[in-house]
Structure 1
């Protein structure tokens, strides 16, 4: 149950959570274990005339993606099947994985800038556009880490992020730092895009987990719409102030 909780909380697919829990149960001799996994909850039962009765429901809020924790639980499940760790070691490792630190704030900010610049260049921008996107990406993740994540809801935070990117890129464009506003905005906004949840949603639906896939898809689409609202709001205000077209 702890392994499934960590996997689901950190962005693993539904089939991965179910398969990992099944493998662990099978190794420890639990033949009657059954798990029903949704995108934000796990229902587990076990027990017959040979095994102690067990039932638990665990609520898991939809949160971010930490693939290093998912990979760590996957590796641990392989070691369990290989018989190379005992039960106490498994408990200790799971506690360590749950509190495994993510990337530092500095690394996240720099990665956002580099990713924004690379995406801008990939989509057709030149080096000047990529430079502007780099600065915008850094500014965006400063906002995400210190304002949006700790203080704002997902909807308001993403609306603000889309607005901030559009305002910053437009400012750089008007100052002649960048030459193609559309490529600058597209590249700079990529750190906000929920690519892994959207991909997992499609994979869950393809695997027949329609409820979980639909919830994840709705969550990803909500982020898309929020970003679009923020971009549209800033363009509307700029159009009212200076008129004409920027793109």
Structure 2
């Protein structure tokens, strides 16, 4: 019983971390679920990319149960996070037994992600909206829409090919910057490429990672907070490198002012 319950609790924590939950919230949810399922001697330590958990064995004389999970990649799927939180509440209220909780967790983990076309459209529309918010006119908004679609295509292609996120961010930023600079040929004088570039880059900006990292630091979880903040700074640096690369090439070949 303890083995199955332990497996369920760790799977739930992994699902939370993989889909954008805070470290402290994931750890708290796992502790609540373990207590509700009667897991004895449960201890857990959660990091941004890993879970370390242990519990007492129900059989006398047996070694404690332990589990370690490495979580190298995370994304944002708040539907799955909400489903696991709802599962935790039902367990705490006594509305679910272990088999029922296992079935609910399986349904939560099987929730579909957004398709590539929807993600592509969302990225393009988001870029266009940010271009408008940063003071862009029709030309900048249209260019930001096209640049956002291009960078989302690159992100999807590179993800399928298994390309590292660092290289993906650099190439995506460089491509959308190059498109925005080239759009000056179409729009002519009065067109502000910088507003289109900023609008397109906002889609790749790691706002969630930075916010959660700061929150982890405030909660005295210095290791997880440092990891998230460093990850956000790394992404920001990659985006800056991509933009600088396109500007340097454009300046060298076409004389575009820096």
TM-score (norm 1): 0.93
Separation in 2, partners of 1:218, 1:233? 22
Q: Is the 8 A contact 2:174 2:242 kept in 1?
A: yes
Match of 1:226 in 2: 238
SS at match of 2:145: helix
Q: Is the 8 A contact 1:149 1:157 kept in 2?
A: no
SS at match of 2:187: coil
Asked if 1:94 is matched to 2:66, the reply is: no
* Cα distance, 1:226–1:133 mapped onto 2, change above 3 Å: same
Asked if 1:122 is matched to 2:133, the reply is: yes
Q: Is the 8 A contact 2:139 2:187 kept in 1?
A: no
Asked if 1:38 is matched to 2:40, the reply is: no
The structure, 1 or 2, with the larger RCO (C-alpha pairs under 8 Å, 6+ apart) is: 1
| Map 1:152-231 → 2, pairs under 5 A | 152-176=163-187, 179-231=191-243
SS at match of 1:191: coil
Q: Deviations over 1:17-73 (max 9, x none)?
A: 111011111112235211111111111112288997322122111322222211111
| Map 1:5-44 → 2, pairs under 5 A | 5-44=14-53
Match of 2:158 in 1: 147
Separation in 1, partners of 2:250, 2:191? 18
Match of 2:73 in 1: 62
Match of 2:4 in 1: none
Following superposition, the deviation at residue 148 of structure 1 comes to: 4.7
- Unaligned 5+ segments in structure 1 are none
CA-atom RMSD in angstroms: 2.0
- Unaligned 5+ segments in structure 2 are 1-9
TM-score (norm 2): 0.89
